């Protein structure tokens, strides 16, 4: 589990095709690689990936992860190339501060950034999501975009807005986000479970 509070920016340094539908990504980061266990989970722009290697290269730390076919199909990882910047977050430990909201790292789909309105040091982003995800997004609810925990401001059909504060613009990839890009989206866990419970209820018990 994660919180959606990004604590490092990584750079993809190598993309290796291991087999059909499987890519190994080497990511440079500021993490001490020897504190990362093989098999540990790291959220990479919102995608929970398993560490399969780590070390130092040219005085920079790196870790390696594998992205399988389903991950490539469901997320923006299919388009990651050398030089792609990624929001990074290591998995929660017991006793860690829950500063954002509970994020699983299981991306639900891809949101399109359709507008950006900058004001002073903040920015309002307007995003469009697939119709099947729009029912999980509500004003004042939580959403994770490229692994960043955000609060929804307004919802209009399949579009919604979020306000990005100066700190988030500075320390995440959202600072450079411009209309036309695609972002990994994970809807709030509670909204997903509530919708599933309603679906499972007999028709006569729904009120």
Q: How far apart are CA 75 and CA 47, in angstroms?
A: 8
What confidence tens digit (pLDDT) does each residue in 89-148 have?
A: 999 887 777 777 889 999 999 999 999 999 988 999 999 999 999 989 999 999 999 999
Distance CA 162, CA 7 (A): 20
**Topology adopted by domain 8-90:** Elongation Factor Tu (Ef-tu); domain 3 (2.40.30)
Distance between CA 118 and CA 95 in Å, rounded?
A: 37
120-132, pLDDT tens digit by residue?
A: 889 999 999 999 9
* Confidence (pLDDT) at 151: 96
The rounded distance, in Å, linking the Cα atoms of 204 and 136 is 23
Residues 59-81 have a mean pLDDT of 95
Whether the CB-CB separation of 98 and 65 falls below 8 Å is answered with: no
Task: Let me know: does 9 contact 175? Beta carbons within 8 Å.
Answer: no
pLDDT the model gives residue 92: 87
* CATH number for the domain formed by residue range(s) 109-197: 2.40.30.20
SS3 10: strand
Report pLDDT digits (tens) over 163-187: 999 999 999 999 999 999 999 999 9
At residue 156, does pLDDT exceed 90?
A: yes
Domain boundaries, the chain: 8-90, 109-197
Residue 203 clears pLDDT 80, i.e. is over it? no
Query: What average pLDDT does the structure give for the chain?
Result: 92
Residue 205 has pLDDT above 60, yes or no: no
Q: How far is CA 154 from CA 67, 77, 122, 160, 183, in A?
A: 33, 28, 16, 5, 18
Q: Which residue has the higher pLDDT, 193 or 202?
A: 202
**Rounded alpha-carbon distances, angstroms, from residue 206 to 117, 138, 189, 198, 201:** 40, 20, 21, 7, 7
**Cα gap 169→29, rounded to integer Å:** 19
What is the structure's pLDDT at 123?
Answer: 97
Annotated catalytic sites, by residue?
A: 2, 41, 48, 50, 68, 106, 151
């Amino acid at each position: 589990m994660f919180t959606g509070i990004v604590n490092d920016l990584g750079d993809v340094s190598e993309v290796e095709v291991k087999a059909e539908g499987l890519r190994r990504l080497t990511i440079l980061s500021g993490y001490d690689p020897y504190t990362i266990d093989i098999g540990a989970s790291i959220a990479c722009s919102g995608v929970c990936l398993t560490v399969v290697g780590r070390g130092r290269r040219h005085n920079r730390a790196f870790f390696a992860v594998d992205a399988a076919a389903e991950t490539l199909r469901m997320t923006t990882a299919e388009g990651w190339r050398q030089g792609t910047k990624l929001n990074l977050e290591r998995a929660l430990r017991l006793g860690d501060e829950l500063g954002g909201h509970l994020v699983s790292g299981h991306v639900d789909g891809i949101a399109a950034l359709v507008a950006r309105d900058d004001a002073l040091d903040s920015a309002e982003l307007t995003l469009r999501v697939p119709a099947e995800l729009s029912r999980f997004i509500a004003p004042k609810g939580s959403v994770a975009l490229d692994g960043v925990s955000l609060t929804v401001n307004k919802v209009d059909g399949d579009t919604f807005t979020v306000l990005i504060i100066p700190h988030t613009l500075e320390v995440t990839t959202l600072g450079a986000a411009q209309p036309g890009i695609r972002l990994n989206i994970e809807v709030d866990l509670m909204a997903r479970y509530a919708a599933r419970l309603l679906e499972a209820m007999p028709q006569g018990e729904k009120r």
